Amino acid sequence: MHTSRRDAFKSVNGEIIAKVDKVNMEFFMDYKKKEHKDKLKLKLFNEKIKIGILKAHPNMFAFEIKYYNKFDGLILEGTGLGHFPINFVDNTTKEHQLIYNELKKLCKKIPVIATSQCIFGRINMNVYETGRKMQEAGILGNLSDMTAETAFIKLVWLLSNYKKNEINNLVMHNFRNELNDKLKYEEEFI
């Protein structure tokens, strides 16, 4: 959580498990390895799969999206609720329509998953027009609380082990606690 502080660690999108100091470890919950009814078989990654991560930023251009045409998947690291600059408002935002068009084309070829640049909370593409347009374009991940790095690993694993036509339905399947089913109300708004 911090580059140099000693108290730099905090559970991301999860409850506090324990507090550790120089001498003691105090558990705040009965922490045990979660048992799963379904057995997860170890499946390896296909090393040839190319997944990109693209961070939303000011002065973004459509050619940045085009770059990922030959990739197998793309993780979008959007702002706040997971948004990307896709709304045309006036002449100063005409590039946004081009970005939207490129994302829509890309979603027809490869899985594109939205995440947030924020550390805590989940994205919600139902709240504002931008998120709804992203879903219409085919962008996945609505209501996910995965970090971009978690989504990256999950997408590589999915593409390595499942057929492409299964991926869209499996992105939001919680295989091994990479998605939180529920977060406490207070944690959602930290």
Q: To the nearest whole number, what is the mean pLDDT of the chain?
A: 85
Rg value, the chain, Cα: 19
Q: Average pLDDT, stretch 164-176?
A: 91
- What's the whole-number mean pLDDT along residues 28-49? 73
pLDDT digits (tens, 9 = 90+) for 42-79: 678 899 999 999 999 999 999 999 999 999 999 999 99
Whole-number Å distance between alpha carbons of 187 and 190: 5
Q: Which domain holds residue 138?
A: 51-170
Q: Does any domain span residue 29?
A: no
* Structure tokens that stand for 21 in this block: 């100091």
Report, as an integer, the average pLDDT of 136-162. 95
Q: 113, 75 in Cβ contact below 8 A?
A: yes
Element (H, E) at 55: strand 51-55
103 HSE (CA, 13 A, CB side): 31
Asked if the structure places residue 71 within a domain, the reply is yes
Dig out the tokens for 149 from the structure. Answer: 């790095």
Q: Is 96 part of a structural domain of the chain?
A: yes
Distance of CA 96 to the CA centre of its chain: 21
- For residue 168, give the H/E element and its range: helix 164-170
Q: What is the mean pLDDT of residues 92-111?
A: 97
Residue 175: inside a domain, yes or no?
no
Number of structural domains the chain divides into: 1
3-state SS record for 5-28? CCCCCCCCCCCCCEEECCCCEEEC
**Quick check: is 182 in a domain?**
no
In a domain, 22, yes or no: no
Q: What pLDDT does residue 179 have? A: 87
CATH of the domain at 133: 3.40.50.40
Global confidence as pTM: 0.80
pLDDT of residue 187: 46
- In this structure, is residue 20 part of a structural domain? no
Residue 41 lies in a domain: no
Identify the top-confidence range among 18-27, 102-111, 171-180.
Answer: 102-111
CA atoms within 13 A on the CB side of 64: 16
The pLDDT, as a whole number, for residue 28 is 75
